[in-house]
Structure 1
Amino acid sequence: MLGLHRTRLTPELLRAALTFGVTTVDTAPHYQRGTAHRQLVHTAGNLLDRFAVCTKIGYHHNTATGTSMHSLAPQQLRTAAATAGRSLHQPPAVLWLHNPERSLTGLPLQSAAERLTRAAEILTHAVERGWCHSWGIATWNPEQILPAVAATRGDWPRPGLIMARSGLLAPARVLTAAEHLAAHCQARLWGMSPFGGDTQDPVWREVDPRRFLTPGQECTRWQAALRLALAVPDRVERIAVGASTPSHLAELLTAPDLAVNTQVVTSYRTLLERRSAAETSSAACSAGARSGSPSGSANSGTKL
């Protein structure tokens, strides 16, 4: 799936995508300073009908200020859902509720559950009205959504899809939470940000993702990293990934054929989870010490 968050869109890239069998693009109206839908329609021209377009609601772009604010206010969501298809000249294949955690975090648990349920009802209604073909939740921090989902006790219109960060650089808690969220919603899982957001990150000079594949396979680091994003977290069906040129896209498309060393990946996940647990425990101890709780030195008599 061709992600358009940072992709410099050209007719050549879209034609190449179709030639390679890539027929799904993922975008959002607030990308490209609020011009993403318009750019896609203009650049694709008569090719647009050959793509399934996925887009998002949740961030609301202010043209006057050039900024985007997040809101799950029902009227704003309803308007965004109703107008997405008109701006794209076709109903979105998937309409994502984008990063709902931005408006849920900090709310009382029951209020967060009610707000999430209301948003889900609006998106379900959008499918029923033909404004989109399906809906899902695209989240950067799924662990911040899980409590609200659990508080609904299953009595809410569940999404059919979850999209979350995937790959070697996604934090352990994000990977685990994405799996739990998809399981709780009985939804299919898609991935995004397989390179951690930046292929120029110094970590990629230190970590060779090819070591997580079975030996004897010829591939680039980026092919390996993308293949692993389909394996971490578990059961990822497809990935939203950007590509700057047709040759770059062609390189990435061979990644799904690579074989993963499941034993190495499992060991890596275990190490990630242990490190995450240790960091959580350390943070809890530090917080307790600052608050003067029994785990702190003032009450226990132990110097920390």
Structure 2
Amino acid sequence: MRGADPRIVLGLHRSRHERRLLTAALDLGVTALDTSTNYLGFHSHRVLAQASGDLLPKFTLSTKVGYFPGRKHCLNPVRLRASVEQAVSDLGREPDLVFLHNPEHSLREAAPHGRGVLAQACAALDAASVKGLCAAWGVASWNPAPLLNLIDPTTPKPSVLMVRSGLLVGTGAIDAAENLIKAWDLGDRTVWGMSPFGGSADAPVWSRIDPRLFLRDGARFSRVQAAFRTAYHLPRVDYVAVGTDDRDHLGELVDALACEVEERAIEEYRRLLHDHSRGHSA
């Protein structure tokens, strides 16, 4: 069952890419890194390789393609392939996983040809994987709903899907993610969550609500730990990518993996979300 053995991916969005953070992650047993071509002002790959190149072989490394300088997003297969090749060059190694980054961003403008555009973009990453430019490829989607009507049995199937997860994700986004998981028939260890705190673990919302009610022994853990652990169940994911430059915060999240989630509380919360959604749409 998903979430039975949760794992952490250290995300480098908003990170300073400091060597000490990667060393701390390894010390804590976090051995997966996630970045993107557009992180750190499109310099993430080069800075990561320069600052911590000798540490990178100790990590499973994922990155993303789809955004280009000038705040442009593009699903052109040629540009995507070139972006993967550039990532390999800048990192000094082939990524273990390359995500198609927020394809819905361009698909809104591709109608009525979105199905073909998405299929060609997926095929480009699939071909890059076959060529050895990456070990596998996936799709990272902030809003997966637009993808649902654009895939069919001929669309190349990703190895991994990354979606938003956590208590601040609306029922529509959760349902869309789960429907996409079913449509692509993704199995265990193939679904990742991201943005478990909705942007910041220091946001006021986490002092106003107490996520510990979703844990079986919540008194032993902090609200931040409870919110993080609950994110593995909204929707159900196997890994959660989370960003931080604070070693203590990362350690707190690692400790949160020992939490046991109260499934009945999660299900009741989801029913409340659906009831609220139906009430607003009536």
Name the TM-score, length of structure 1 as normaliser.
0.86
Q: Which residue of structure 2 lines up, in the alignment, with residue 284 of structure 1?
A: none
CA distance in structure 2 between the aligned counterparts of 1:206 and 1:222, rounded to whole angstroms: 12
Q: Which residue of structure 2 lines up, in the alignment, with residue 176 of structure 1?
A: 175
Distance 1:197 1:106, change over 3 A: same
Q: What code does the residue aligned with 1:14 have?
A: L
CA offsets 1:254-304 (integer angstroms, 9 cap, x no match) = 1121011111110111111222233334xxxxxxxxxxxxxxxxxxxxxxx
CA distance in structure 1 between the aligned counterparts of 2:142 and 2:278, rounded to whole angstroms: 20
CA distance in structure 2 between the aligned counterparts of 1:134 and 1:103, rounded to whole angstroms: 22
2:133 to 128, 131, 134: 131
Structure number with higher relative contact order (C-alpha < 8 Å, ≥ 6 residues apart) = 2
1:254 is paired with a residue whose SS is helix
Q: Which residue of structure 2 lines up, in the alignment, with residue 166 of structure 1?
A: 165
Is 2:68 the partner of 1:60? yes
Shift of 1:200: 2.9
CA distance in structure 2 between the aligned counterparts of 1:8 and 1:249, rounded to whole angstroms: 15
CA distance in structure 1 between the aligned counterparts of 2:61 and 2:256, rounded to whole angstroms: 22
Shift of 1:35: 1.1
CA offsets 1:132-188 (integer angstroms, 9 cap, x no match) = 000110000011211112xxx311211111100001001111111111111211222
CA distance in structure 1 between the aligned counterparts of 2:42 and 2:110, rounded to whole angstroms: 28
2:245 is paired with a residue whose SS is coil
Q: What code does the residue aligned with 1:226 have?
A: F
Q: Which residue of structure 2 lines up, in the alignment, with residue 7 of structure 1?
A: 15
1:90 to 90, 93, 104: 93
User: Is the contact between residue 160 and residue 185 of structure 1 (CA under 8 Å) also seen in structure 2?
Assistant: no
Q: Which residue of structure 1 lines up, in the alignment, with residue 201 of structure 2?
A: 199
Gaps of 5+ in 1: 62-66, 282-304
1:269 is paired with a residue whose SS is helix
1:43 is paired with a residue whose SS is helix
Q: How does 1:204-215 map to 2 (within 5 A)?
A: 204-215=206-217
CA distance in structure 2 between the aligned counterparts of 1:44 and 1:192, rounded to whole angstroms: 24
**What is the Cα-based RMSD across aligned positions, in Å?**
1.4
Is 2:177 the partner of 1:186? no
Q: Which residue of structure 2 lines up, in the alignment, with residue 70 of structure 1?
A: 73
User: Is the contact between residue 25 and residue 51 of structure 1 (CA under 8 Å) also seen in structure 2?
Assistant: yes
1:105 to 91, 101, 108: 108
CA distance in structure 1 between the aligned counterparts of 2:141 and 2:100, rounded to whole angstroms: 8
Shift of 1:241: 0.5
CA distance in structure 2 between the aligned counterparts of 1:275 and 1:219, rounded to whole angstroms: 29
Q: How does 1:1-304 map to 2 (within 5 A)?
A: 1-61=9-69, 67-109=70-112, 111-149=113-151, 153-187=152-186, 188-215=190-217, 217-234=219-236, 236-281=237-282
Q: Which residue of structure 2 lines up, in the alignment, with residue 285 of structure 1?
A: none
Gaps of 5+ in 2: 1-8
CA distance in structure 2 between the aligned counterparts of 1:229 and 1:200, rounded to whole angstroms: 16
User: Is the contact between residue 161 and residue 182 of structure 1 (CA under 8 Å) also seen in structure 2?
Assistant: no
Shift of 1:122: 0.4
Q: Which residue of structure 1 lines up, in the alignment, with residue 4 of structure 2?
A: none
Identity of aligned pairs, percent? 39
How many positions carry a matched residue from both structures? Answer: 271
CA distance in structure 1 between the aligned counterparts of 2:24 and 2:117, rounded to whole angstroms: 41
Name the TM-score, length of structure 2 as normaliser.
0.92
User: Is the contact between residue 160 and residue 186 of structure 1 (CA under 8 Å) also seen in structure 2?
Assistant: no
CA distance in structure 2 between the aligned counterparts of 1:201 and 1:18, rounded to whole angstroms: 27
CA distance in structure 2 between the aligned counterparts of 1:56 and 1:125, rounded to whole angstroms: 15
CA distance in structure 2 between the aligned counterparts of 1:232 and 1:116, rounded to whole angstroms: 26
User: Is the contact between residue 68 and residue 74 of structure 2 (CA under 8 Å) also seen in structure 1?
Assistant: yes
CA distance in structure 1 between the aligned counterparts of 2:215 and 2:276, rounded to whole angstroms: 23
Larger Rg computed on CA atoms: 1
Q: What code does the residue aligned with 2:93 have?
A: Q
Q: What code does the residue aligned with 2:25 have?
A: A
